[in-house]
Homo-oligomer: A and B are copies of this chain.
Amino acid sequence: MTQTMKAAVLPQFGGADMFEIRDVPVPAVGPREARVRVHATSINPLDYKIRRGDYFDHVPLPAIIGHDVSGVIEEIGGDVMEFAVGDEVYYTPQIFGTQGSYAEKHVANVDLIARKPKNLSHEEAASLTLVGGTVWEALVTRAQIQVGETVLIHGGAGGVGSIAIQIAKAMGARVFTTASRRDHDFVSGLGADLAIDYRAEDHVEVVNRVTDDVGVDVVFDTVGGDILTRSPHVLAQMGRIVTLVDIPQPQNLIEAWGRNASYHFVFTRQNRGKLDALTNLLERNQVKPIIGATFPLERVGEAHAYLEAGSANGLRGKVVITVKGRGNQAS
């Protein structure tokens, strides 16, 4: 008798209304895997890019997608020593090649799984795994921000940007960020030292004026558009640009040599170590989750539409999905 679970299944690539809630088999647990009752997951731009077909050659259909889990371990494989049934955990599933987190249960290799921060709810923890791991990769591993440096974060009110501001501040950086005027108080509250209204002002002009043409040490691009090409103009010598937003248009980089710039292209790789490091900051309240909206799993399509509309509807931070699964009452 195969056990089943509810999952949001994507039968075809397309709009936010494509998801179908179905009963699907509960996945089996391999020797180095754990099965987790999912209490919450969340939506990332990666999710709607996958949904609309941007990565069609990496995602066989029908698919269960989703890249954040916070929940409780309900079964472990025979070679798992570091976790036990009942442990509260959070993690990002492997991106591509395995089942995602829009479901009541999820199975992952335990090398990806970290203990959930004690002071966070499942909703808060689920809002952070992909975003937090990505910011860690970008600012700590790749840009290697040093205390005292200045960082320009594009899109500071967004799901990634709002965590990036806090992690950059925790690293001892001065933080500039672009945001809509109405979000300036919000990003200042997160620690931003300067908010730039990108609609009213040219960020290159503002940065060069404020820094006396010295520029910033690090640019973090969470937005795309022409930021890659323009960034050398705001960059100090030996400055670094970290970009999350893959852009197919050719980029004119001629200014990059004169600045001795480095461009770091990031497509997140997940692992436990980054989440454990992030947990330290979370448990000390140096970084706080920002949840802009919460939807139940059954309304995941609405959640997608809400995130895609983005700042146009005043969204700040993350869109979280709660999963009231059959096993969840027990925890």
Q: Which residues of A contact B (CB under 8 A)?
A: 142, 228, 237, 243, 246-254, 256-267, 269
User: B269 near A265 (CB under 8 angstroms)?
Assistant: no
- 6 new A-B contacts, CB < 8 A, other than A237-B269, A259-B267, are A228-B253, A246-B254, A250-B250, A251-B252, A261-B265, A262-B264
Q: B254 touching A253 by the CB < 8 A rule?
A: no
Residue of B nearest to A244 (CB): B257
Q: List 22 A-B contacts (CB under 8 A).
A: A246-B257, A247-B253, A247-B254, A248-B252, A248-B254, A249-B252, A250-B250, A250-B251, A250-B252, A250-B253, A251-B252, A251-B253, A256-B263, A256-B265, A257-B266, A260-B265, A260-B269, A261-B265, A262-B262, A262-B263, A262-B264, A263-B265
A265 touches B246 (CB 8 A): no
Query: What are the residues of chain B within 8 A of A263 when measuring CB–CB?
Result: 253, 256, 262-263, 265
The one of B254, B256, B257, B267 that contacts A260, using a Cβ cutoff of 8 Å = B267
Could you tell me the distance in whole angstroms from the C-beta of A15 to the nearest C-beta in chain B? 25
Among candidates B246, B257, B265, residue contacting A262 with C-beta atoms closer than 8 Å: B265
A267's partner among B248, B249, B257 (CB-CB below 8 A) is: B257
Q: Verify A265–B250 contact, CB threshold 8 A.
A: no
B-chain residues with CB within 8 Å of residue A259 when the two chains form the complex: 265, 267
Q: Which residues of B contact A264 (CB under 8 A)?
A: 262
A263 to B266, CA, bound (A): 12
Q: Which residues of B contact A261 (CB under 8 A)?
A: 265
A248: nearest chain-B partner, CB-CB:
B254
Name the B residues within 8 Å of A237 (CB-CB): 269
Q: Give Cα A267 to B254, complex, Å.
A: 11
CB distance from A240 to the nearest CB of B (A): 9
A113 CA / B320 CA spacing, docked (Å)? 59
User: How far is B243's CA from A269's CA once the two chains are assembled, in angstroms?
Assistant: 25
Identify the 3 closest CB pairs spanning chains A and B, nearest first: A250-B250, A256-B265, A246-B257
Complex Cα spacing A49 to B120, Å: 59
Q: Which residues of B contact A258 (CB under 8 A)?
A: 246, 267
Write the chain B residue with the least CB distance to A246.
B257
User: Chain B residues near A254 (CB, 8 Å)?
Assistant: 246-248
Residues of B within 8 A of A247 (CB): 253-254
- In angstroms, Cα B250 to Cα A263, docked, is 15
Which residues of the partner chain B approach A269 to less than 8 Å between Cβ atoms? Answer: 237, 260
Contacts of A267 in B (CB 8 A): 257-260
Q: Given B248, B249, B256, B262, which contacts A142 in the complex, CB threshold below 8 Å?
A: B262
| Residues of chain B within 8 A of A251, CB atoms compared | 250-253
* Complex CA–CA separation, A315 to B247 (angstroms): 40
Residues of B with C-beta under 8 A to A246: 254, 257-258
